């Protein structure tokens, strides 16, 4: 963990020092050192500074005594009401802002480069792909779990080892201004925007506003920094055409196929015809800054959209001077995390658990993936609502229904508030594809025991709150009890 003097924390936060000096401790704020920042008394270590975050249902200031008893060497609080005697306190107006300021101070103190990843869909997979691409050629560190807000990103920076060469950070948002706050903490050298989709359109009102929110990442992109974007994204193309990207920023495009670029760029990465071999997708990329070079890549993934993620990782690796063979080796080691494209077999039926989250783009890509995996066997989809789509929700659920039919799924099992729209979408393409409508996941699992046969594939996907992965557990329980067709 990062070490700080009291003077450095005061400089970063602009706080006021109280209860200092302390008998038996260094008498100078320049010499009094704390070993890392903790926000949780359950994991605090002796010598840490305890920073009291405040949430809707908790007030970290109330844990100041517990933190001191567990060995906190410094308290960063927003009130002295709960402060024990005998421990120095830095008093600040807002402890969350104080955390972000300390993290920004540490980021600027670190000698590493920073890659910031944002976008509507695929942020986590892309961030992990970039980390994999870098991992064999340099000392890389990456955002853990879903720590992509101002608290999680700040903690990631504070946990970053001192000898890190490149730090890969994910930036999430729900409203305008949130990416701006994150980029002012991170000061990235490279920004990667995966796409501009319709996620959060309920809050932001239009894809134009979503685009502008994602482009906030460029506010603190270093002068002459690199921006990696997909060439096929119409909104990011529009941003480039309309001068919404600073002139000093170097743009590099990724493309799932070789195209003639219609606009100037600093670099590019194109994918050749992908080859599918079991659970791997292989292709030859042409990539570089200036003269392009051919690089063979192989990824252990299900979805073809990961080809674009790999191209972003390839460009980041080349930009940081990593040997192409090392980049390819790193990309080959990529593995999905959480409930993302997890393939699980239960008595010969294969479940594609992609239930971590869902939007129209990722839902349609998942339909293509499960259909391709099943080959000549049957492919089903267990789905529920895609949230935060606002007024376009009925239209988008209709569209995914139509997509399910057009890729040739053998059945759609659906629950939620938009089942009617999904059904109408399926039937707009084909009335021969059965659509099963449910009120709960248990009934959905029961139906699977009746229709799914050995060798068949089943997709599980919806917005995160539906926890569609539990269908897998229910199905497993039913099969183990002998309840099957």
In the chain, domain spans? 3-96, 110-332, 342-480
483 pLDDT exceeds 70?
Answer: no
**Each residue of 222-248: pLDDT tens digit?**
999 999 999 999 999 999 989 999 999
Q: Contact at 8 Å (CB) between 313 and 298? A: no
pLDDT at 108: 97
- Give how far Cα 129 sits from Cα of 168, 337, 396, Å: 10, 11, 28
Tokens 């917005």 correspond to what residue? Answer: 463
Average pLDDT, the chain: 95
9 pLDDT exceeds 60?
Answer: yes
Q: Tell me the pTM.
A: 0.91
* Positive or negative torsion for Cα 251, 282, 372, 301: negative
Give CA–CA dist 151/39, Å, rounded: 10
Give CA–CA dist 19/32, Å, rounded: 13
* Positive or negative torsion for Cα 463, 466, 470, 471: negative
Q: Which of 87, 120, 293 is nearest to 194 (CA)?
A: 120
The verdict on whether omega for the bond into residue 21 sits within 30 degrees of 0, i.e. cis, is: yes
Classified as helix, coil or strand, 373 is: helix
Give CA–CA dist 79/95, Å, rounded: 10
- Classify residue 86 by burial, with Cβ atoms within 10 Å: 0-12, 13-18, 19+: exposed
Per-residue pLDDT, averaged over 2-26, amounts to 96
202 pLDDT exceeds 90?
Answer: no
**Each residue of 260-289: pLDDT tens digit?**
988 889 999 999 999 988 789 999 999 999
pLDDT at 482: 64
CB proximity list for 458: less than 8 A, separation 6 or greater:
349, 350, 351, 352, 370, 379, 380, 381, 382, 448, 452
Class of domain 3-96: alpha beta
pLDDT at 485: 39
Give the side-chain half-sphere CA count within 13 A for 180: 8
pLDDT at 167: 98
CATH topology of domain 342-480: 3.90.190
Give CA–CA dist 234/245, Å, rounded: 15
Per-residue pLDDT, averaged over 443-460, amounts to 97
CATH number of 110-332: 3.40.1190.10
484 pLDDT exceeds 50?
Answer: no
């Amino acid at each position: 963990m990062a070490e700080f003097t009291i003077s450095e924390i005061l400089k970063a936060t602009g706080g006021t020092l109280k209860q200092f000096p302390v008998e038996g401790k260094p008498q100078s704020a320049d010499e009094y050192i704390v070993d890392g920042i903790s926000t949780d008394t359950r994991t605090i270590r002796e010598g840490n500074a305890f920073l009291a975050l405040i949430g809707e249902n908790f007030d970290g200031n109330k844990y100041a005594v517990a933190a001191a008893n567990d060995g906190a060497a410094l308290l960063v609080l927003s009130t002295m009401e709960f402060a024990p005697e005998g421990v120095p306190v830095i008093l600040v107006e807002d402890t969350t802002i104080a955390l972000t300021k300390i993290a920004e101070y540490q980021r600027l103190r670190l000698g590493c480069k920073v890659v910031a990843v944002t976008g509507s869909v695929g942020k986590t997979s892309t961030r992990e792909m970039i980390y994999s691409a870098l991992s064999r050629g340099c000392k890389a560190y990456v955002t853990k779990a879903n720590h992509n807000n101002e608290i999680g990103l700040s903690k990631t920076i504070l946990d970053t080892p001192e000898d890190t060469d490149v730090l890969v950070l994910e930036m999430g948002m729900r409203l305008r201004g949130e990416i701006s706050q994150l980029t002012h903490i991170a000061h990235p050298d490279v920004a990667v925007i995966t796409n501009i989709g319709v996620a959060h359109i309920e809050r932001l009102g239009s894809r134009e506003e979503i685009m502008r929110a994602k482009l906030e990442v460029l506010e603190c992109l270093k002068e002459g920094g690199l921006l990696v974007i997909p060439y096929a994204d119409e909104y990011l193309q529009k941003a480039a055409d309309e001068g919404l990207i600073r002139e000093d920023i170097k743009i590099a495009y990724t493309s799932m196929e070789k195209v003639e670029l219609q606009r100037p760029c600093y670099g590019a990465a194109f994918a050749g015809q992908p080859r599918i071999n079991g659970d791997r997708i292989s292709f030859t990329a042409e990539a570089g800054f200036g003269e392009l070079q051919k690089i063979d890549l192989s990824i252990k993934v299900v979805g073809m959209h990961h080809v674009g993620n790999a191209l972003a990782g390839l460009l980041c690796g080349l930009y940081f001077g990593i040997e192409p063979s090392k980049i390819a080796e790193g990309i080959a080691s990529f593995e999905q995390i959480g409930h993302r494209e997890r393939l699980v077999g239960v008595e010969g039926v294969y479940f594609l658990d992609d239930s971590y989250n869902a939007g129209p783009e990722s839902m349609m890509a998942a339909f293509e993936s499960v259909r391709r995996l099943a080959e000549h066997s049957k492919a089903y989809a267990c789905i529920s609502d895609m949230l935060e789509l606002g007024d376009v929700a009925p239209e988008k659920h209709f569209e995914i229904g139509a997509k399910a039919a057009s890729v040739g799924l053998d059945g759609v099992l659906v629950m939620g508030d938009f089942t009617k729209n999904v059904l109408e979408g399926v039937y707009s393409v084909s009335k021969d594809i059965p659509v099963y409508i449910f009120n709960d996941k248990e009934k959905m699992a029961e139906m699977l025991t009746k229709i799914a046969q050995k060798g068949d594939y089943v997709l599980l996907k919806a917005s995160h709150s539906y926890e569609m992965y539990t269908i897998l557990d229910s199905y497993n329980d039913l099969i183990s009890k002998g309840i099957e067709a």
